[in-house]
Amino acid sequence: MRQVWWNGKIIPESEARISIYDSAFMFGDTCFEMTRSFNKEHFKLDEHLERLMKSVKCLRIPMRESYINTLRFVCEEIIYKNKDEFKEDDEYRLMIDVTRGLLPRYEQVGSLGTNVIVSIFPLRWATKGLGKYFDTGIPCFTPSQRQIPAQLLDPKIKHRSRMHFRMALNEGEWPLLLDPDGFISEGPGYNFFIVKEGLVTSTEPRNILRGISREYIYEIYDFVEENIEPYDVYDADEAFITGTPFCMLPVTSLNGIQIGDGKPGIMYGALLDMWSKNVGVDIQKQIQDWDNV
Amino acid sequence: MRQVWWNGKIIPESEARISIYDSAFMFGDTCFEMTRSFNKEHFKLDEHLERLMKSVKCLRIPMRESYINTLRFVCEEIIYKNKDEFKEDDEYRLMIDVTRGLLPRYEQVGSLGTNVIVSIFPLRWATKGLGKYFDTGIPCFTPSQRQIPAQLLDPKIKHRSRMHFRMALNEGEWPLLLDPDGFISEGPGYNFFIVKEGLVTSTEPRNILRGISREYIYEIYDFVEENIEPYDVYDADEAFITGTPFCMLPVTSLNGIQIGDGKPGIMYGALLDMWSKNVGVDIQKQIQDWDNV
Amino acid sequence: MRQVWWNGKIIPESEARISIYDSAFMFGDTCFEMTRSFNKEHFKLDEHLERLMKSVKCLRIPMRESYINTLRFVCEEIIYKNKDEFKEDDEYRLMIDVTRGLLPRYEQVGSLGTNVIVSIFPLRWATKGLGKYFDTGIPCFTPSQRQIPAQLLDPKIKHRSRMHFRMALNEGEWPLLLDPDGFISEGPGYNFFIVKEGLVTSTEPRNILRGISREYIYEIYDFVEENIEPYDVYDADEAFITGTPFCMLPVTSLNGIQIGDGKPGIMYGALLDMWSKNVGVDIQKQIQDWDNV
Amino acid sequence: MRQVWWNGKIIPESEARISIYDSAFMFGDTCFEMTRSFNKEHFKLDEHLERLMKSVKCLRIPMRESYINTLRFVCEEIIYKNKDEFKEDDEYRLMIDVTRGLLPRYEQVGSLGTNVIVSIFPLRWATKGLGKYFDTGIPCFTPSQRQIPAQLLDPKIKHRSRMHFRMALNEGEWPLLLDPDGFISEGPGYNFFIVKEGLVTSTEPRNILRGISREYIYEIYDFVEENIEPYDVYDADEAFITGTPFCMLPVTSLNGIQIGDGKPGIMYGALLDMWSKNVGVDIQKQIQDWDNV
Amino acid sequence: MRQVWWNGKIIPESEARISIYDSAFMFGDTCFEMTRSFNKEHFKLDEHLERLMKSVKCLRIPMRESYINTLRFVCEEIIYKNKDEFKEDDEYRLMIDVTRGLLPRYEQVGSLGTNVIVSIFPLRWATKGLGKYFDTGIPCFTPSQRQIPAQLLDPKIKHRSRMHFRMALNEGEWPLLLDPDGFISEGPGYNFFIVKEGLVTSTEPRNILRGISREYIYEIYDFVEENIEPYDVYDADEAFITGTPFCMLPVTSLNGIQIGDGKPGIMYGALLDMWSKNVGVDIQKQIQDWDNV
Amino acid sequence: MRQVWWNGKIIPESEARISIYDSAFMFGDTCFEMTRSFNKEHFKLDEHLERLMKSVKCLRIPMRESYINTLRFVCEEIIYKNKDEFKEDDEYRLMIDVTRGLLPRYEQVGSLGTNVIVSIFPLRWATKGLGKYFDTGIPCFTPSQRQIPAQLLDPKIKHRSRMHFRMALNEGEWPLLLDPDGFISEGPGYNFFIVKEGLVTSTEPRNILRGISREYIYEIYDFVEENIEPYDVYDADEAFITGTPFCMLPVTSLNGIQIGDGKPGIMYGALLDMWSKNVGVDIQKQIQDWDNV
């Protein structure tokens, strides 16, 4: 069974459970990161940990800044401890959570203080059923549920107070939430891009989580950040989303209106190829193979 | 040790923990209720359970409507099972949580499906340190953090995606959150009232949790619901909050500006007396006694 | 063939066409009314004409106030002229349109000035396919498209600049548009009501067309006007819509969430019965019979 | 008499009329384009037709994408057919309208389906009375009526649901509508620019129709897009508007406050000269001559 | 020459000047009241002084609550001292200002501390030119300038940070400012009422100064408070404004659209008569006589 | 005693007082500038005067454009006249105010017309107590009071209707007001900057006074203008404010959350050094020396 790091202890995954009196459970008061590997090598782990430290700071969860070094070590350790639980063609997915801990009024129930939890599981859990979308593209829609904007609860902090994402998912698969100004923000777990005449544009970084995968696109190709409205999507040549587990998936329609020629775009394909080449993994093939097992 | 009801099993409180892969932990995707007793008799348990069923419905957590009958029974049972854990002068506080359960992609970690959890603990945990405020009144303030309005995530659903409450508490004790229109909504766990020339007014029931204690005021005295602005509070004769653990507490200033004569109000006192009489418990004395032990 | 009144002339329906250079075509710059009969007797014709005059005034379309008398006469006349075009079991549906007329710059194309058009057709055209909903109720949804609020273009004026209604209909059948504040406004051609513990509530009359059918409910039963949010609908015992062609139809779900027991409500049934009795027509039967021919 | 193309037929202009049961009349449910010629040569016809196809797509009016080729041909045809109706010093103005057609419930009245209409008339109709403004400049004002923003009904779609433009015109000539955020959007039929220290700035392209004339300025001079507030206009050296019939007109005051030295600006003059030279027509002279006939 | 009370001293009116380093001058940081007499008897002086004390409290200008007694005395005194400066047919107009005083950093310039100033002048200064409107009614308009809403700077506090009123007046005479939600709020110095079928309605008391004259209407006739939109005004039978100097004036058009029959209304007349009778002054005649001198 | 220029007269500072019937006092209807010298040499006086003329124009205070030349002369004159009132180590601080003058209805009290006032005092009055912040940095906070946005009353006009600044200061020292969209605007008298990885960013210039000191940073270093949210500040390496009296001060925390390492930043120091060098005054030392006298 997989093992989990919990405040310095190694416990079995089935025991990795948080008290119902923890602020995490009570208020959605957790910040977290989820990573992936390529060929079992960490991808952008430092970037994830740095973003986590920012979230911790903004939420004022007590944790010293240098703790990031411990976390680096813990991640290595937890991978090592669990390596036999993974198949040869697996990739790692780490989940790192930090909670404020038991609310003080429940101190009789357990010990107080910040909880740090690092767990791991096969990435294929998170990509299940996605393989086909590399070929067909995703049909997105703008739900009635709007994004909670930064001035009310900042999505740039990767927190777990995200019921609005569940509400959007209740309306259908692959929602793209509009923010209160009517601009596209993000979906639950993915950022959004359009391509028009070779120009790659992503949403303004205001009312979104600034995804590590989104940032990675910068490394392989320049893009600009603009307010994107549904009209811009209908007018685009292509569109895609980015997210850690699947890296990139093409979007071929919004609200039933076809984008470009309704097929995965050329720029999308080129970027995915570049990404695959850079990390030494055929991203699309890997995920499709997992689906076809 | 206290015992908890968990999906039909009785487990020790220390084991009442939720998987880190549960939607509750992942998304703040829980709805819940917390009750109290007077002289160890349930207060408004049915109202709490009915509100819970509404929350469940709005969040589309799978649960049959008739489950409310089970819950009634479970609450009785869990009180009975734990009765020896309570002192003679204790009151019960039940916590009833419903979560969507493990996210399907983590099915290897445990079993899927709705989780229902009923736990219990002494009410005095929740009233600790409040005793003095019956005499001095509470100094409230309007934080920079605004309430998330109903159209983005409805606070009338008693959910646990409430990081914004933590953010408000980070700014200071006793916040009264303004909604995006600048009207007073609520605090984390309490509703708000003002009194002016004998007229009792509470906030419009739009951007708040419609508290059971708030509703109870209706039973003992008529009040009206209006948009309340800070000006109205400065102009009021008195103000108070309601919340399940403490029932009612006077508010004697807002943002450092004195309300009325700066002392607990006459109407407040009369309503608290009536409430105490109705339930056969001197509410103020009980809480102050607990603090003085 | 049906005949149409057009600025004082009687013309065949197929000729009832407006210049492509008319302000009506150019700007959606028309105000209008559509009525119905019961047993071929006018229903609330005066109320419709009075509302039309208000629309004319707000849009500043040049027309003298006393013109309402002419219109009363014209409506009678046009019914009389067309009576042989209607079957015995038909009802009349009048459409009265007022446009600002040809834009002055196109004066060479025709004559300038206000256009008044009164046409008529069988009501069954407008109720086609609705019969079944009296039994099953309507499944409404809140589209991503929001209502244009009164401060931008007042829906209390019955105008024809209503592309946003088409956009909502593009998202699905039976939309209930939220206004920018997240309150339910109306659908394309119908007002909305909920019933809870015997209390009938309709939307605030701000961001809606104040329907004649909606007003008629006042005559047979008291109702209150409140901001209605989706939560209130989920929490209601029943819900219904009103509109001239069908009078009243039950709403049994919103966004897939069942309202009450998911069947047409008791209050709804009682009001429809009263209405039917008052006008001497079994409203439901008539529409269902037309569908079953 | 001028001839109009109507769904493949050529009909006289006086017959170019749309049924009162057409969605165009009923909902303002039309998209359209209006062009001009220079020396009777088309200007940017392709750009107009491409924008039309985008509008068609966003409104989901059924029409195959390749129809643009037909439209190119039809425009040529309709000019040819009407060429004898134009004087030697005339310019052409094409109007191309696409409507969703008769609402299905009125199918007895005519045939269903998309309507495509191409008509033509002398440009001088649209420029009548504008000649003097090339010398004096236009006095603009910000009306109380605000622009309907893209998130409620996208002005980037060139539709005919534009009552709010009529309402603005009811307040006075030459309105510049503020959007709900207080930024200048556009007037009914024109885009807006300011010039400050040689820098040409136009409004952000969000809450406006992205005019073909506006785009043409790009071809002859670089400009930037920014949110423009009244303050920026008062602070500018010069200002102008662009629109197809008149190309460019200077704006010399806003709300009675003089812009720059209150005369048509130098940059304005230079751009108009360049435009005139590029198209081989003295734009100002042509329009002033028409006015002086 | 008229004498002014200034922090306990009596000084000539021409000396009643505030330092350019006073917070009043620097920040518009003053609260104030302006009253009137009928037959040289105070009208509602206590209400004015109580409202002043509320403003002082909300602005946190240091002043003890009991100071209201001093102010009552001072007002009497200042009237007495100046009585010979008034003609027999004059009425008194008191102006009472409270400022925070010299900003501490300018302490070398003068003495610090709250400034209280009571001055007096003939009411006819404030009513000059208004006489004719009793007969013709006022033509109001909704300016582009919006009201600053309570959540940004509360107009219920009678302060002097009111540049937006000047900006509205720059657009024309008799503005009625819309608040950011598009509801009518108030004009610079007057509240607004409509009458429809005998029902008198005033604006919601949220984004307005709650005028003493407005409150007085309550004493002579019941009215309701509702959000009022321009549509409601166009649809009303009559309209009027209230303000201390003129008491009540009829409004006969809004934005050029006639209200009712375009003449001062019956209800208006009745209320003004009642008011005149109650105070023993023919209000209309007095003001018109002053204009006719 | 210091002398003040008042509409062409030289009067003693203690007489520099404005009538309580002036529009300045009545409406906060003043625009103004405040300057500073370095080594008793004017700094950016022309820029201040030009901005003043813009404010005058936007407020429509009657004043001819060429008056700026007079003002230049007056400033020189008033410095000269007062030079003996300043110590050797003093710097000058000019205050230039323009008011609309006595409201016409009070014409008996004095003469009507624009008032222009130029006064002068030692800069050290304005920097008192600030010395220590050069070392410790300023702890800023975001108050509940929001900035009044440009569309309601434009802060780009340097006016004196600024009660909202006083309200923010009532909440605490060093407020940074959020605008209604949740972006940082400015504090009472200072603009805001952040530095991240060498990139200097200031707020968008929309809802702020565009400070002369802020503009000066452009001259010594490039910066970009972006919407800045609290998150961006928490994520920054350093932050600072600019204002005329103190030039630049470091900001080391926001809402109690440390910025960077919590000490004055490197970029801040470098810019201040450059500024000091450019003007030949050790800015920090000068202010600290004044504090230490």
Taking alpha carbons only, the member of E72, A223, E32, D184 closest to residue F28 is E32
Retrieve residue B181's tokens. 């229109």
How far apart are the C-alpha atoms of A102 and A123, rounded to whole Å?
A: 30
Chains A and C touch (3+ CB pairs under 8 A): yes
pLDDT of residue D1: 87
Q: For residue range C36-70, list pLDDT tens digits in order.
A: 999 999 999 999 999 999 999 999 999 999 999 99
Taking alpha carbons only, the member of F255, F151, E151, F142 closest to residue B180 is E151
Q: For residue range A228-281, list pLDDT tens digits in order.
A: 999 999 999 999 999 999 999 999 999 999 999 999 999 999 999 999 999 999
**Backbone φ and ψ of D160, nearest 5°:** -120, 30
Retrieve residue F237's tokens. 């390496």
Taking alpha carbons only, the member of F197, F213, F293 closest to residue F246 is F213
Q: For residue range E242-292, list pLDDT tens digits in order.
A: 999 999 999 999 999 999 999 999 999 999 999 999 999 999 999 999 998
Q: For residue range D142-177, list pLDDT tens digits in order.
A: 999 999 999 999 999 999 999 999 999 999 999 999
Residue D148 has its nearest CB partner, among C110, C125, C152, at: C152
Side chain identity at residue C120, one-letter code: I
CA atoms within 13 A on the CB side of C21: 25
Q: Tell me the DSSP string of E55-66.
A: HHHHHT----TT
Characterize the bridge pairing of strands C115-122 and C41-42.
Answer: unpaired
Task: Give the closest-approach CA distance of A162 to chain D in angstroms.
Answer: 24
pLDDT of residue B1: 87
How far apart are the C-alpha atoms of C7 and C19, rounded to whole Å?
A: 14
How far apart are the C-alpha atoms of E155 and E207, rounded to whole Å?
A: 6
Chain F residues with CB under 8 Å of B170 CB are 255
Write out residues 149-178 of E within 8 Å (CB-CB) of F: 151-153, 159-167, 170
Q: For residue range F219-228, list pLDDT tens digits in order.
A: 999 999 999 9
Contact call for F105 and E117, based on CB within 8 A: no
Q: For residue range F11-38, list pLDDT tens digits in order.
A: 999 999 999 999 999 999 999 999 999 9
Task: Give the closest-approach CA distance of C39 to chain A in angstroms.
Answer: 42
Chain D residues with CB under 8 Å of F58 CB are 231, 234, 257
The radius of gyration of chain A from alpha carbons, rounded to an integer in Å, stands at 19
Mutation for testing the F interface, residue in E58, E98, E160 having most F CBs under 10 Å: E160
Helices C212-220 & C266-279, crossing angle to 10 degrees? 100
Q: For residue range A105-143, list pLDDT tens digits in order.
A: 999 999 999 999 999 999 999 999 999 999 999 999 999
CA atoms within 13 A on the CB side of D114: 15
Helix (H) or strand (E) holding A46: helix A45-59
B230 touches chain E (CB under 8 A): yes
**What is the DSSP secondary structure assignment for residue C85, as one 8-state letter?**
G
How far apart are the C-alpha atoms of C143 and C145, rounded to whole Å?
A: 5
- Return the partners of chain C (3 or more C-beta pairs < 8 Å): A, B, D, E
Of chain C, the percentage scoring pLDDT greater than 90 comes to: 99
Retrieve residue B175's tokens. 């916040």
Chain F residues with CB under 8 Å of A60 CB are 256-257
C-alpha distances in Å from residue B155, one per residue of A231, B45, B289, F50: 32, 20, 33, 51
Characterize the bridge pairing of strands C41-42 and B247-254.
Answer: unpaired
pLDDT of residue C289: 97
How far apart are the C-alpha atoms of C105 and F106, rounded to whole Å?
A: 51
How far apart are the C-alpha atoms of B127 and B34, rounded to whole Å?
A: 13
Chain A residues with CB under 8 Å of D206 CB are 227, 229
Retrieve residue B246's tokens. 């403490």
Q: For residue range D253-291, list pLDDT tens digits in order.
A: 999 999 999 999 999 999 999 999 999 999 999 999 999
Cβ proximity of C202 and C176 under 8 Å: no
Judge whether residue A293 has pLDDT over 90.
no
Retrieve residue A232's tokens. 């811009």
pTM, to two decimals: 0.96
pLDDT of residue B20: 97
Give chain C's end-to-end CA distance (angstroms, integer).
22
Find tokens 């979007």 and name the residue: A251
How far apart are the C-alpha atoms of D114 and D111, rounded to whole Å?
A: 10
Tens of pLDDT along chain B (293 residues) come to 899 999 999 999 999 999 999 999 999 999 999 999 999 999 999 999 999 999 999 999 999 999 999 999 999 999 999 999 999 999 999 999 999 999 999 999 999 999 999 999 999 999 999 999 999 999 999 999 999 999 999 999 999 999 999 999 999 999 999 999 999 999 999 999 999 999 999 999 999 999 999 999 999 999 999 999 999 999 999 999 999 999 999 999 999 999 999 999 999 999 999 999 999 999 999 999 999 87
B205 touches chain C (CB under 8 A): no
Chain F residues with CB under 8 Å of A154 CB are 229-231
Cβ proximity of C48 and C72 under 8 Å: no
How far apart are the C-alpha atoms of F138 and F263, rounded to whole Å?
A: 10
Mutation for testing the E interface, residue in D140, D142, D144 having most E CBs under 10 Å: D144
pLDDT of residue B293: 76
E117 touches chain F (CB under 8 A): yes
C61 touches chain D (CB under 8 A): no
How far apart are the C-alpha atoms of D6 and D13, rounded to whole Å?
A: 10
Cβ–Cβ pairs < 8 A, chains B and C:
24
Chain B residues with CB under 8 Å of C231 CB are 58, 150, 154, 156-157
pLDDT of residue F1: 87
How far apart are the C-alpha atoms of D56 and D157, rounded to whole Å?
A: 8
Cβ proximity of D188 and D169 under 8 Å: yes
Residue C14 has its nearest CB partner, among D110, D151, D162, at: D110
List the single residue in F with minimal CA-CA distance to D230: F151
pLDDT of residue C82: 97
Handedness of CA B119, B120, B124, B130 (dihedral sign): positive
CA B282 to mean position of chain CA atoms: 20
Cα dihedral: C194, C199, C204, C209 (round 10): 60
pLDDT of residue D85: 96
Confidence bin at C229 (pLDDT 50/70/90): very high
Judge whether residue E293 has pLDDT over 80.
no
**What is the DSSP secondary structure assignment for residue B187, as one 8-state letter?**
B
Long-range contacts of C213-219 (CB under 8 A, 24+ apart): C213/C242, C213/C243, C213/C244, C213/C247, C213/C248, C214/C242, C215/C47, C216/C44, C216/C242, C216/C275, C217/C193, C217/C242, C217/C271
Confidence bin at E100 (pLDDT 50/70/90): very high
pLDDT of residue C1: 87
**Backbone φ and ψ of E208, nearest 5°:** -140, 160
List the single residue in E with minimal CA-CA distance to B259: E57
How far apart are the C-alpha atoms of D267 and D259, rounded to whole Å?
A: 14
Find tokens 């559509």 and name the residue: C34
Rounded to 5°, the CA angle C101-C106-C108 comes to 110
Cβ proximity of A250 and A237 under 8 Å: no
**What is the DSSP secondary structure assignment for residue C149, as one 8-state letter?**
P
D142 touches chain E (CB under 8 A): yes
Judge whether residue C293 has pLDDT over 90.
no
What contacts E291, CB < 8 A, 6 or more positions away? Answer: E127, E128, E129, E130, E131, E132
What contacts B129, CB < 8 A, 6 or more positions away? Answer: B291
CA E106 to mean position of chain CA atoms: 32
Q: For residue range F166-180, list pLDDT tens digits in order.
A: 999 999 999 999 999
pLDDT of residue C104: 95
- Average pLDDT for residues E155-182, to the nearest whole number? 97
F235 touches chain A (CB under 8 A): yes
Residue A128's CB is within 10 A of a number of other CB atoms, namely 14
How far apart are the C-alpha atoms of C173 and F76, rounded to whole Å?
A: 74
Q: For residue range D51-70, list pLDDT tens digits in order.
A: 999 999 999 999 999 999 99
F58 touches chain D (CB under 8 A): yes
Judge whether residue C79 has pLDDT over 80.
yes
F90 touches chain E (CB under 8 A): no
List the single residue in F with minimal CA-CA distance to B167: F255
Residue B164's CB is within 10 A of a number of other CB atoms, namely 24
Q: Tell me the DSSP string of F17-59.
A: EEETTBHHHHH--EEEEE--EETTEESSHHHHHHHHHHHHHHH
Characterize the bridge pairing of strands C247-254 and C138-140.
Answer: parallel
| Mean per-residue pLDDT over chain F, rounded | 97
Cβ proximity of F282 and F274 under 8 Å: no
A62 touches chain F (CB under 8 A): no
Taking alpha carbons only, the member of F246, D166, A132, B3 closest to residue C159 is D166
Chain E residues with CB under 8 Å of F128 CB are 105
What contacts C61, CB < 8 A, 6 or more positions away? Answer: C31, C98, C99, C100, C114
- Average pLDDT for residues E201-229, to the nearest whole number? 97
Residue F231 has its nearest CB partner, among A60, A150, A152, at: A150
Contact call for F230 and A149, based on CB within 8 A: no
Confidence bin at F197 (pLDDT 50/70/90): very high
How far apart are the C-alpha atoms of A45 and A29, rounded to whole Å?
A: 23
Taking alpha carbons only, the member of F49, F34, F126, F40 closest to residue F80 is F40
| Mean per-residue pLDDT over chain D, rounded | 97
Cβ proximity of B20 and A119 under 8 Å: yes
SS3 content of chain C, % helix, strand, coil (to 5): 35, 25, 40
Judge whether residue E221 has pLDDT over 90.
yes
Give burial (CB, 10 Å; 0-12/13-18/19+) of A189: middle
Cβ proximity of A178 and A142 under 8 Å: yes
Contact call for B142 and F144, based on CB within 8 A: yes
Find tokens 């007495």 and name the residue: E80
Of chain E, the percentage scoring pLDDT greater than 90 comes to: 99
